Amino acid sequence: MTEHVASERITTDGVDSPEPTPSSRVGRRRWPILVLAFLALVVLTRGLLVETFYVPSGSMEPTLSGGDRIAVWKPGADDVRRGDVVVFNGTKAFGPSRETSEPSGLSKAVRSVGDALGFRSGESDYVKRVIAVGGDRVRMDSAGKVFVNDTAITEPYARVQSAGPPFDVAVPSGRLWVMGDNRAQSDDSRGHLGDPGGGTVKADDVVGKVVGRYWPLTDVGGLPSDAAQDRGGNHD
């Protein structure tokens, strides 16, 4: 005897529930494919266009906070300007990052997933703001006011409770002077004046420009509008 399996409709209050249409079934099948395609696109483009990083400390507060996840536009490394927030490999200029802290809770879980997908946690990478570029003269007075090419720059993003001792530096060609927005809590060019390069970073060591934050979800988006630096000075 042949056994037949008939389709069954589930009824509610005597009303037949419509069977899924072919288009709805196709739509459900597409979702896993779209998700896989998106992940494949992320993996393929990560090394070419966009790379993600974990911010380990509060050295860039209030612009970026410890535990943030940021997206970096790698082609932007070819056109770095004053005021840009960049990620760079600081091994040569600064050594291994001294700002790394161990995340906890949800941030730790997100970091683990990111690392599993191949996203760098950046233990040798730094995120800082470019204050001066090659050919500039940058100095800071005892009050923490920064001048580029003898022009005072406006820094609405900076926390300057204690900016450290004054300095006066001529930035060599092909190099950058970088500082954290949270001046009292940042390991940056100021702390490496006695090192080879005089605290400056090679422009070639820049990974890319920070274009936005994707974690935490409450702060998803671009950098704050007041995070733009007065690009001051007369040299580009």
Active site residues: 59, 128
At 52 the three-state DSSP class reads strand
Closest of 79, 60, 80 to residue 70, by C-alpha: 60
Contact 125, 208 (CB under 8 A): no
Q: What angle do CA 110, 116, 117 make, to 5 degrees?
A: 95
Owner of token pair 């003269």: 137
> Other CB atoms closer than 10 Å to residue 72's CB: what's the count?
25
Looking at the DSSP bridge assignments, the partners of residue 89 are 125
Q: Kindly state the tokens that stand for 88.
A: 């760079």
Q: What angle do CA 190, 211, 45 make, to 5 degrees?
A: 115
User: Dihedral of CA 225/178/96/77: which sign?
Assistant: positive
Strand ranges inside 85-190, DSSP E: 85-89, 125-133, 137-140, 146-148, 151-152, 167-170, 175-179
Kind of pairing between the strands at 175-179 and 201-202: antiparallel
